[in-house]
Amino acid sequence: MTKKNLNKVAYDYLHKSIVTCKYLPGEAIVEHDVTKKLGISRTPVREALRRLSSEGFVRQIPMKGSFVRRLTTHDIEDIFELRLMFEESALRSGFDEISAEELAKIEDKLKLLNDDSDPEDFYESDRMLHEMIIKHAKNKRMISFFNTIDSQLETFRYISAMNNMRLKHSKEEHMKIVTAIKEKDLDSALKYLRLHLENVKNNTLKVSREIR
């Protein structure tokens, strides 16, 4: 395997582990453990950690090591402020272009969710809905910028779901958004979208404080 591929293997593993909270905020990332897990040398792991540090996911402290960067209250509020602004704009501008087929696909996914569903199925339905909304935005630069914060949004998705009831509530909120769009009720769709994102933000803040 080439050096480039080894770097990618190390980066992808660490990035996913941080985003999905296998490594919790503030937790140390031990290079030796990662090299043993992946069966590679320390060099690609160090390169991956440097890249993650430049992207804001890791904090490297001289003589101490690498640690998952803690999300501050300010970080979370900033990201959700941008997310609400982008998604509201996208929903307004693309409202009439959302197809019945798109909505049916999401609605079918939501209806299958129950207490025994794998959390990943809840995450997937969440991604499907919000990606659909953003996809119909008229502002392509906004879509591009939204995609740059996608990894942080993915982290919030997992952090928020550490509250078990959040998954159930999220499903209910998503259904209200989908129903309002189906009924061509823009005002209600915007209202339920704002409520949903506010609830996710507040739950993310709550859980983040608890795991610090």
| 33-71: pLDDT as tens digits | 999 999 999 999 999 999 999 988 999 999 899 999 988
Banded model confidence at residue 4, pLDDT cuts 50, 70, 90: low
pLDDT value of residue 212: 62
Closest Cα to residue 201, out of 59, 113, 49, 71? 71
pLDDT band at 176 (very low <50, low <70, confident <90, very high): very high
Q: How far apart are CA 117 and CA 25, in angstroms?
A: 26
Residue 190 has a CB neighbour count (10 Å cut-off) of: 17
**Which stretches of the chain are DSSP H helices?**
3-19, 31-38, 42-54, 73-94, 100-111, 119-135, 140-148, 150-160, 164-182, 186-210
Q: What is the pLDDT, as a whole number, of residue 84? A: 94
Q: Which of 36, 61, 54, 42 is nearest to 3 (CA)?
A: 42
Q: Measured between alpha carbons, how far is residue 166 from residues 51, 89, 132, 162, 196 in Å? A: 32, 25, 21, 8, 11
Q: How far is it, in rounded angstroms, from Cα 22 to Cα 166?
A: 19
Render pLDDT for 90-136 as a digit per residue (tens, 0 to 9): 999 999 999 999 999 999 999 999 988 888 898 899 999 999 999 99
Q: Which domains does the chain have, with CATH numbers?
A: 3-68 (1.10.10.10), 73-210 (1.20.120.530)
Q: What is the pLDDT of residue 151?
A: 78
pTM value surpassing 0.85: no
